[in-house]
Amino acid sequence: MNRLRILAAAMVASTVVFITGCPPKVVPDREQPRKIYLSATPDELLSRLAKRNQAITGLQARGKIAYRFTYSRRNYRDAEVRFLFVKPDHVYVRGSAHLVGTVFVLRSNGVRFWAEVPSDKKVYTGAVQSTPRLEGKVEIWDGLNPAVLAEALLLDDLKNYRTICATFPNRYIIDLLDDSSGGMLALRRRIEFERESLHIVRHQVFGEEGEVVTDAYLYRYRDVAGVEIPTLYRIERHWEELSLRLDLDEVKLNPDSDQELFRYQVPAGFQVEDLDERREIAEPS
């Protein structure tokens, strides 16, 4: 019996040695094609952007907008949109849904904006601005106003900022700075260019205290009348905890626009809520 036990133990030991002694199977790595990155100076990148923007006075499109509060468990609400933007802050957006009809109409004459919500018989209005509300309950229109859309599209005329550039193997990141009210340099914009095509993939707008007011990601570039235009945007408004997606199609540049679209008269029976007045009341004294 002892011999059998010794023999069995020896067999187990030899099996373990055989198994552990087998070399692992080596699978050769598949060689990936090496990406080709382009080179440009910050001045060249900003000059190209400014030249593009000078050639664009407006943009017209159809598409879809989706939005939700990031603190909410509710999924994105979306609507089909007719979208018209004319520099500097003239915006017309009509959102509609199947079997519902018009969900909202957003207009701006460059000074004020009006967001009409037929289902609530309410009109939200305020000055065209992008100042974030740092606390307190917000409406969707606190974070989605014409200035937000204009900034996200990055079609505005860039002034002569001071620039700082960081270079990565696959990205250029350019910070745009100018003087603040306190006499120090303040960060205003941060623009990220990916180096395979030198397209802008991210654009951040900063407030007076250095807070990120708008954080926009730009995707799916298309050639429109000889101009490369992103047609998919993800816009994060962190202070309002608001997330937006803007998906544009049938894009046209510099369309003939009806100026009446940017003028507004409150319909009879609609309640008007001034977001600027509510914002002042909500601010701590």
Q: Where are the beta strands (DSSP E) in the chain?
A: 58-69, 77-86, 90-97, 101-109, 112-117, 122-127, 162-167, 171-179, 185-194, 200-206, 212-224, 227-237, 242-253, 271-274
Mean pLDDT of 49-69: 90
pLDDT for residue 61:
94
Mean pLDDT of 15-37: 63
Assess whether pLDDT exceeds 80 at residue 226: yes
**Cα pseudo-dihedral 130, 133, 138, 139, rounded to 10:** -10
Residues 6+ apart with CB under 8 A from 15: none
Query: Which CATH homologous superfamily contains domain 42-282?
Result: Lipoprotein localisation LolA/LolB/LppX (2.50.20.10)
Q: pLDDT tens for residues 242-265?
A: 889 999 999 999 988 788 888 888
Residue 183, sorted as left (phi over 0), alpha (psi -120 to 50) or beta, turns out to be left
Assess whether pLDDT exceeds 60 at residue 9: no
| Residues 152, 233 contacting (CB under 8 angstroms) | yes
Q: Show me where the domains of the chain are located.
A: 42-282
pTM: 0.81
Instruction: Give 207's pLDDT tier (boundaries 50, 70, 90).
Output: confident
